[in-house]
Amino acid sequence: MEKAFTTRLYQAHRDCPPCPSPAMVVKFHDGLLATLFPDFGALHFASEREFELHIDGLRLELDHLLFKVGQSLDAERIAKEFFDALPEIHRKLLNDAVSMLEGDPASRTQNEVIRTYPGFYAIASYRIANALLKLNVPDIPRMITEHAHSKTGIDIHPGATIGEYFCIDHGTGVVIGETTHIGSHVKIYQGVTLGALSVSKEDAQRKRHPTIEDHVVLYAGASILGGETVIGHHSVIGGNVWLTRSVPPYSKVYYQARMNGGDPSESDLVVIRSGEHD
């Protein structure tokens, strides 16, 4: 191996910004989930005091991770504010689990949803990462959501804004971009992309991803693109629909095959507003 090459590698290691390893972040993340939801782990505590000490240990673990990110961070303050936010994160996640239980005929219990549903794991990871991102923590939020991505096939950027009672059914291949806004009581199936029309670096500070209002269902394979695209509340977007423009509330959007003398492989996009058709 050439000396010049090893020198360049050494300099890269020397100049690499401080950051905890992905394994350390995943260990904290999974330990936190197992603490919030017994369904994720096999933790046993002899007393409430022992449980409180366990939580104190998690807070110190986060403090240590934050210190590794950089000494310019106020690690103690951030760790305290994050743990103060845990009751609200937990409440939202319970509502997400309720939404999945009620929205999936195959689900039997809330415990089953929490233990086995990849959608719940991905949403839980997002809500934890989003809380850390709002505290201006670098790197760690993305490491958490990318771990969930590798585990579930669901890619949610920690910067996305997502309301309550969020349901991802099946979920493989779902992509939710950084500036996406999702309201409450939204249900998304596998293969849905909420993406940008352009990947230009010049658009980094702009809203690049769509807005999905309350009570919307997005069926498998739908792609909704663009920062100005708004899906109005109580709308249903059919499978494999490609949308780069807004639709009003109470819309139904789907593809309809041409069967009257045309090529049956061709299809037209159909947008129906509630009340226009029976």
The domains found in the chain, sorted by start residue, are: 16-153 (1.10.3130.10), 160-278 (2.160.10.10)
Band of the pLDDT at 259, cuts 50, 70, 90? low
Quick one: which of 257, 256, 251 has its CA closest to 270?
Answer: 256
Asked if residue 195 lies in contact with residue 225, where contact means CB atoms within 8 angstroms, the answer is yes
Model pLDDT for residues 205-246, shown as the tens digit of each residue: 789 999 999 999 999 999 999 999 999 999 999 999 999 999
Q: What is the pLDDT of residue 71?
A: 67
Residue reference for tokens 């069926």: 219
Model pLDDT for residues 167-178, shown as the tens digit of each residue: 999 999 999 999
Model pLDDT for residues 1-60, shown as the tens digit of each residue: 788 999 999 899 888 887 899 999 999 999 999 999 998 878 889 999 999 999 999 999
* pLDDT higher than threshold 90 for residue 278: no
Model pLDDT for residues 261-271, shown as the tens digit of each residue: 555 445 688 87
Dist. CA 171–CA 157, nearest whole Å: 15
Mean pLDDT estimate for the chain? 91
Handedness of CA 35, 37, 40, 41 (dihedral sign): positive
